Structures are given as structure tokens and as C-alpha cells.
A and B are shown apart, each in its own frame.
Chain A
Amino acid sequence: MIWDWDWTLEILPDLLTQGLLVTVQATLGGAVLAFVLGLFLALLRRSRRAYISRPVGAVTEFIRSTPLLVQLFVVYYVLPDFGVSMTALTTGIIGLGVHYACYTAEVYRAGIDGVPKGQWEAAVALNLPRHWTWLSVVLPQAVRRSLPALGNYLVAIFKESPQLSVITVVDVMGLARELGSERFRYLEPVTIAGLFFLLIAIPASILIRRMERRLDH
């Protein structure tokens, strides 16, 4: 038998408790950061002051055009030089969050642009203050429109989180790599990790597609 069942059963519990916990933390942490920071970036990007909107646009474009892995290196190696010391997991969450904030910013932007002009005009007609127009009229609609795309990015963050293993985070993939390197045999741990991602990501994307259809109506 090529597949080592004994070993599989031995490592499975660790992967599914210890590893899973870290993967979930990384995903949720990264997603929360991406969703919140992304909204701010979207608003800055829409600023009428060019000296704000231009640089923000350029930086988000730059971050989207360069690899997450290298950005993780930057946070991991460079920040400590400036006296900021964090755990590898926190570093990873920041890297993931900032990277994907540059994507969600575009999602929010499209959502904001998608709010019909009539809504703005109605708010003016009601003499609503500008910040209140944003808070009570525009953003709720924009965020609602953005939900399916944000859901997709949540899954994307989940699927990209294994990259944190490169900066020594011991998530499912990190643990699988560790276990694999002990025996120099990766078949079982990496296959388990792969199946684990499949089993979560596929139902999640199906769920999001449902949600998308529901919101369309």
C-alpha cells in the first residue's frame, strides 16, 4: 500500500485542530481587515481631492500588481527593523488584509457607483447632510451590492492563506509541511490539506453563488 493509513490517522487530528484553528484565524483576521480597510480605501479613492485619490489609486494598483508573497516578506523582514515586532500570524494577517483590501476597495467602488443617481438626488431633495447621505443612503446600498463579491474574496483569502506557511505560520499547510519534512514524505499531509481546502471552498462558493442569485432579485 502506497498510502500510509496509520500515519494518516496519526496526523489527522493535529491538522484538523491545531492547523485548522490557525487557518481560520488567518482567514477571518485577514478578511475583517480587508473588508474594513477596503472600504476606507474606496472612499479615499473617490475623494474629490486629487492629492488624496491619485496616490491611493496608485498604491492600491501597485499592491494588486505585485505578489502577496513578496509583500509578506516585506512585512515579516522589514517591520522588525523599525521596532515593530509581531507574531508570524499577526504579520500574515496584516499582509493578507492589506493585499486584499486593495481588491475589496474596487468592489466597494463598483458598489458605490452602482447606486442609482436618483438616490443622491432624492437625498439632496430631502436636504440630507452630505455625510448622512453617505451613511444612511449610499453606503448601505453599496455594501449590499458588494456582498457576493466580498464573499468571493473571503473564499479567496481562505485559499491564499497557506502562503503564510512560508513566513513560518503553522496553519494547516504549515503543519502539513512540517509533518512532511519530518519523514520527508509529503503525500499524506499535503493531500489531507488539499482535501481540506476543497471540502470548505467548494460548498462556500456554491453558497455565495446562491446568495448572488438571491440578491439579484
Chain B
Amino acid sequence: MTTINPCGAELPGTLGEAMPFLCRGAVVTLQSTLGGSVIAIAIALVVGLMATSRLRSVRGVARAYMEFFRGTSVLVQLFWLFYAMPILTGYQLDKVGAGILALGLNLGAYGSEVVRGAVQAVPPGQREAAVALNFTPYQRMRYVILPQAFVAMVPPMNNLLIELLKTTSLLSVITVTDLAYQGRLLVNSGSDQLVVFALMLVIYFLFSYLITLLMRYVEGRAARVVGRERPRRRRSAPAVEGAR
């Protein structure tokens, strides 16, 4: 029995025609998702924690960031970063770089809200106990608050990462050769539309599912850390405000 390469050109009919290209695109989609996630999570942590600061000015900066990037469309931000910023600053990002940055900046703003909410949802008694035990402010955050907040962050983060995956498709508009780009190219060059679009959607769906599996695992681990038996099952629809 021979194993079948799902990306091989020897598959029958439209499959053989489309899959090699779609696979190449899927890799770019995955890379963009990964890159965007890293930036988004980093921003979410920093800005989200800033939003819980006692200092008004720090909170203000965080709020401004969040409102700004949640207030405009990713597509506009993407265009601006790629086409407009170079004129203003003379600095040209390559298209994948601009794409990943736009994803990270945008989803990072939504993630900040998640982090802020989760941190503030940790019961105040926990912080007070940590003060009474003479932890430094950093230690309170690092060893007491964040580990507990983390559990609450995972489910909404799961939704955001799926949003991020879906949003990578917009990178095709600035000609990043991702899954959406390759699919559209195939259709324009005469492949069977129905098959190509179905394949694209299925691949996106599988990636979403992969993210959910991964995050369920993370959630299970995190829940065990704070001593919950098993994570409560929850709906996967975004509970985040204005989930884009």
C-alpha cells in the first residue's frame, strides 16, 4: 500500500491540479498565523497589563492603543502599513512583514482586553494575601495573579487566534501568496471553482480546529495548575466584545 501525498500533483482531476498550490499557500497561511500570534500575544500581555496599572497615564496609553486598533478595519491598517507608511516614513516593510505586523497589532488590541479582563477577574483577596506575605509588586503579578488569570484567558484567546487565522486571508490582498491568494489564482486560471473553494474552506476549517485542540490542551493544563478538575465546557463563539 502506498501512502497518498495530499499535496501531490498525481491526485486525480482538479485535486491534482489544485492541491500542490493550495498546500504551498497553506504553509504561508500557517506561517502568517504563527507570526501574527506571537506579536499579538506579546502585545496583549504588555498592553493588557498596562491597562490594569494604577497610574492613570499608563492606563491611558493602553486604552488609546486598544481603541485605535479596534476602531479601524484590519484591511485598512494593512493597506496603510504596506502602501501609506512608506511614503510617510520612507521605510518599506516587505509584504509578509507588513501583513504579520498588521495582524499582530490588530489582534493584539483585542487580546489586551482579554488579558486586562482576566487579570482584574482574579479575586482581590489574592492580591491582598500576596501583599500581606510581602511579595514585591512584580512577584505578586508573576507568581500569584498571572498564573490564575491565565486560565480565564485561554478560551477567549482561542477565539482570537481563530479570528487571526481567518484574518490572514486578507494578506492575499497585498499579494502575499497565502491560501486565499493561491485559491483565487487557481480559479482565475480556470480550475473548477466549486472544488477549489471547497478545498480552501476545508483547509481553513481544519486549521481552526487544530487551534481549538491546541488551546483545549493548554486550558486543561492551566486548569490543573489552579486545581480545577477539568475545564468547564464552553461555547466557542467569541464572548469578546465586538469580536470582529
Contacts and interface: CB of A to CB of B under 8 A. Distances in A.
Interface stretch (A10-18, A47-55, A156-164): A156-164
A156 B237 CA distance: 14
Interface stretch (A83-91, A117-125, A137-145, A194-202): A194-202
Interface residues of B, number: 44
A193 interface: yes
B166 A194 contact: no
Interface string A17-40: 000000000000000000000000
A173 B73 contact: yes
Nearest to A206: B67
A2 B87 contact: yes
Dominant secondary structure at the A interface: helix
Q: Could you say which of B76, B80, B84, B162 has the most chain A C-beta atoms within 10 Å of its C-beta?
A: B76
A69 B172 contact: yes
Contacts of B76: 162, 173, 190, 193-194, 197
A107 B193 CA distance: 33
Q: Could you say which of B73, B80, B201 has the most chain A C-beta atoms within 10 Å of its C-beta?
A: B73
A186 B79 contact: yes
Interface in B195-219: 197, 200-201, 204-205, 208-209
A162 B242 CA distance: 16
B34 interface: no
A190 B238 CA distance: 29
A78 B72 contact: no
Given A70-B200, A193-B76, A156 B242 contact: yes
Contacts of B180: 67, 69-70, 73
B208 A205 contact: no
Contacts of B236: 61, 64
B174 to A, nearest CB: 11
B170 A69 contact: yes
Interface residues of A, number: 49
Interface string A62-83: 1011111111011001100100
A73 B205 contact: no
B237 A155 contact: no
A185 interface: yes
A168 interface: no
Nearest to B76: A194
B225 interface: no
A190 B72 CA distance: 11
A94 to B, nearest CB: 15
A65 B72 contact: no
A152 interface: yes
Contacts of B7: none
Interface string B162-202: 10001111101100000010011001000001100100110
Interface of B: 67-68, 70-73, 75-77, 79-80, 83-84, 87-88, 162, 166-170, 172-173, 180, 183-184, 187, 193-194, 197, 200-201, 204-205, 208-209, 235-238, 241-244
19 contacts: A2-B87, A64-B236, A65-B162, A66-B205, A67-B167, A70-B183, A78-B193, A107-B237, A110-B235, A152-B243, A159-B71, A159-B73, A163-B73, A176-B79, A177-B79, A186-B87, A187-B87, A190-B76, A194-B77
Given A64-B237, A65-B166, 8 more contacts: A65-B204, A66-B204, A69-B180, A77-B193, A156-B242, A163-B170, A185-B87, A187-B83
